[in-house]
């Protein structure tokens, strides 16, 4: 069984994330969405909230993609998480060249730690390339409409959290 790991903080999950999840399911038999605890970032949503939102959004996908999608919170090195869930591939989404520079460094470090785990990059669909959770939160915090960037459920959660 080919297991992939798509890691991120997903604070909140966006349409860009959902697009990468959907497209990654054609590459693997099981996709683990790894929800990272990152103390360097100050998340708007708790880990439990982020896990719940991702599970909710992935429920719709499972019936159409026919691949098992598991949501898995982790607070370890990414490569340790990959080993724990049995992933042979890490899936990363790219929006722009700036993303690639950071991701390139991460791949090198991960390969040095475990060269049996490959990393695959998926380019975000053109309509999703500008979407970043950080920007979505900023726009929502300033009263802007983020309904083009997140699902209606996530939009409601953002509005409720920021009210």
What pLDDT, on a 0 to 100 scale, did the predictor assign at position 97? 73
Q: What pLDDT is attached to residue 124?
A: 83
pLDDT in tens, 99-147: 788 899 999 999 999 999 999 999 888 887 788 999 999 999 999 999 9
Catalytic: 41?
A: yes
DSSP label of 115: T
**pLDDT above 80: residue 96:** no
Buried b (16+ CB within 10 A) or exposed e, 59-69: eebeeebebeb
Say what the pLDDT of residue 6 is.
Answer: 98
Q: Which of the residues 50, 92, 128, 133 is marked catalytic? A: 133
pLDDT in tens, 14-51: 999 999 999 999 999 999 999 999 777 789 999 999 99
> Is 95 marked active-site?
yes
Candidates 17, 128, 137, 157; catalytic one: 17
Sequence-distant (≥ 6) Cβ neighbours of residue 32 within 8 angstroms: 3, 4, 5, 6, 69, 70, 71, 72, 85, 87
Side-chain-side CA neighbours of residue 59 (13 Å): 7
Query: How do beta strands 30-36 and 68-74 pair?
Result: parallel
First to last CA, the chain: 45
In whole numbers, what is the pLDDT of the chain averaged over residues? 93
Catalytic residue among 2, 41, 59, 134: 41
């Amino acid at each position: 069984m080919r297991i992939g790991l798509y890691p991120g903080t997903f604070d909140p999950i966006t349409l860009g994330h959902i697009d990468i999840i959907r497209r990654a399911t054609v590459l693997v038999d099981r996709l683990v969405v790894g929800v990272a605890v990152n103390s360097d970032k100050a998340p708007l949503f708790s880990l439990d909230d982020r896990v719940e939102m991702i599970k909710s959004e992935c429920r719709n996908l499972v019936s159409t993609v026919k691949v098992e999608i598991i949501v898995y919170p982790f607070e370890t090195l990414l490569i340790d998480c990959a080993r724990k869930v049995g992933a042979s591939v890490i899936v990363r989404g790219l929006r722009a060249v700036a993303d690639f520079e950071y991701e390139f460094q991460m791949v090198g470090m991960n390969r040095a730690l475990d060269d049996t785990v490959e990393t695959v990059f998926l380019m975000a669909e053109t309509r999703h390339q500008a979407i970043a959770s950080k920007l979505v939160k900023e726009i929502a915090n300033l009263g802007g409409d983020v309904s083009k960037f997140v699902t209606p459920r996530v939009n409601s959660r953002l509005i409720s959290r920021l009210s």
